[in-house]
Amino acid sequence: MEWHLIKKNEVTSTNDVIKELAREGVPEGTAVAADRQTKGRGRRGRVWESPQEDNIYLSFLLRPKMEPQYVSMLTLVAALSVVNALAGMGQDKWNQTEDDSTFQIKWPNDIVWKDKKICGILTEMSMEAGGGYYCVIGIGINVNTEKFPPEISHMATSLRRETGLTFDREPLIRGVLEEFEKLYSVFLQKKSLAPFLAEYNKHLINRGRKVRILSEGKEEIGVSEGIDETGVLLVRKENGRIEKVISGEVSVRGLYGYV
Ligand code: BTN
């Protein structure tokens, strides 16, 4: 796959820009990075705050040659590529010791640093006439924002907020695309997350700890045991049975707050 990165100043949402381009027939690997978004979107219809503060608002187009049921797994592949790209920027910056799992993943695809969210991923799929489909992966990384709106300030952070340093977006954007490409080619071959399980589960926040599963107003407690090769989260319930939690249907939280 070849990346073709288009840079924009202001857009509504980089996901929308990619969708428009996809309808025009551009190839897989087309990517858009913007300085700000006027209608940045998060999952579950939430707003993604997108001020012009040198953050990353990045989307890219995939035309995977596999059945649509695999799309939700691609989001997990994207999460792992962001973690790898961040780690690849250098231990010295992150003040890490031997523990290289400092950037964590809140299943399925939030990246968490020091118990706060630093990156969100929104994957959208569109069917095409003729039965094909395409997929847009949108990645928002809080890079240089210093202040967040009060309602999210307790659960959001940025690279700058934690380090006091200012970061160039370009190398991180390139790093994410490079990492994704590597993992994506393996995923296309295997049609499974099996090759990434150990790596993903190493970064998984709350693994082996109690989590709350919130679904349709119901709440259940269980122990998070990690993902399986299809990307579902395995949660051991109090009666000892393992429940497969499917992404998109439920929200999984630790017992105390956001993570
Ligand atoms: C979430 O955590 O809810 C997902 C947030 C995804 C935000 C990114 S920023 C680039 C792309 N364009 C959007 O409108 N959303 C995604």
pLDDT at position 254, please?
75
Bridge-based pairing of strands 210-215 and 242-245 is unpaired
Sheet architecture: strand order including 233-237:
242-245, 233-237, 218-227, 210-215, 251-254
pLDDT at position 246, please?
86
Measured in Å, residue 41 CA sits from the centre of ligand 1 at: 5
Chain Cα centroid distance, residue 235: 21
pLDDT at position 35, please?
97
pTM surpassing 0.85? Answer: yes
Do 76 and 44 meet the contact criterion of CB atoms below 8 Å apart?
no
138 lines ligand 1 (CB under 6 A): yes
pLDDT at position 97, please?
55
pLDDT at position 92, please?
66
Q: Residue with the nearest Cα to atom 15 of ligand 1?
A: 41
Given ligand 1 and candidates 57, 107, 111, 123, which is best to mutate, with the most ligand atoms within 8 Å of its CB? Answer: 57
pLDDT at position 79, please?
97
Residues of the chain with pLDDT under 70: 91-93, 95-101, 248-250, 255-257, 259
159 lines ligand 1 (CB under 6 A): no
pLDDT at position 118, please?
96
Q: Residue with the nearest Cα to atom 16 of ligand 1?
A: 138
Q: Which residue has the tokens 């992150």?
A: 94
Measured in Å, residue 240 CA sits from the centre of ligand 1 at: 36
Chain Cα centroid distance, residue 42: 11
43 lines ligand 1 (CB under 6 A): yes
